[in-house]
Amino acid sequence: VITAELREWRGRAIPLEGKQIHDVVDDLSRKYIDVEVEAEFKRGQYEGTRSLDTKRFRVVGVRNEDADDYHLYITNLPREEFLPADLATLYRCRWEVETLFRELKTQYELDEFDTNNPDVVKILLYAALLSLLVSRELLDLVTEQADDEIVFPPERWAATFRSHAQLILHELGEYLGYSPPPLLERLIEDAQKIHQQRPILQETLATATQPRCES
């Protein structure tokens, strides 16, 4: 419930005191809403009962002309120090932090470290952060080359970057002059037995099961 308006409007402005904010928000066209509200809530259970209580907050609305509605923010920051536009910027920055961590978890597996080794965790953490950094740098480059009206949502871009990572590495290697060895040579190098004196399991089993030759 709105208890006070923190900003005066000229002309025949709709009075808001005493009204539910969601009941009047669709009728307003002002650029900002800046009011004090009283919210009712239930306290934690105590001796089997939950009592009702109220608390006052400041609610700020910033009009979104494209969607023809308001973005509403609840805060305890004073109006003398933070104007509605300032609060909208602060909350937008907070949301950027949330989406950044969500991207690190969903695309770079920041929350799926299947190890208890601190050194391995550090390596995986730095790998995720470096991947994010490269992704954002490449996004800036793509944005510069694309038409101005094209929009690249960060999380959609992150998924695209991850799915094309091997191709990007290949193109980058060629650009820097690092030519990988032919595929057959790589297979031979990676798959061969490292210790020539140590027989592999199949060799040991085959030797043990061969019939002994008569002397």
- Averaged confidence pLDDT in the chain: 84
Find out whether 6 and 34 touch, Cβ atoms under 8 Å. Answer: yes
The stretch 54-73 carries a mean pLDDT of 88
The stretch 43-59 carries a mean pLDDT of 86
pLDDT at 140: 92
Q: Which of 130, 128, 137 is nearest to 157 (CA)?
A: 137
| CA 30 to chain CA mean position, Å | 32
Q: Does the structure show a pLDDT above 50 at 215?
A: no
pLDDT at 113: 76
Q: Does the structure show a pLDDT above 90 at 59?
A: yes
Find out whether 50 and 43 touch, Cβ atoms under 8 Å. Answer: yes
pLDDT at 169: 86
- Tell me the per-residue pLDDT of 10-39, one tens digit each, with 9 for 90 and over: 767 778 888 988 888 888 888 889 999 998
- Tell me the per-residue pLDDT of 160-198, one tens digit each, with 9 for 90 and over: 998 998 888 888 888 888 877 787 888 888 787 666 666
pLDDT at 49: 83
Tokens of 157: 């871009």
- Tell me the per-residue pLDDT of 111-152, one tens digit each, with 9 for 90 and over: 777 888 889 889 888 988 898 899 999 999 999 999 988 989
The stretch 44-51 carries a mean pLDDT of 81
Q: Does the structure show a pLDDT above 80 at 209?
A: no
pLDDT at 211: 62
Tokens of 190: 């990676």
User: Hey, where are the domains in the chain?
Assistant: 2-82, 102-183
Q: Give the single-character DSSP code of 6.
A: S
Residues 6+ apart with CB under 8 A from 2: 16, 17, 18, 19, 20, 21, 24, 35, 36, 37, 59
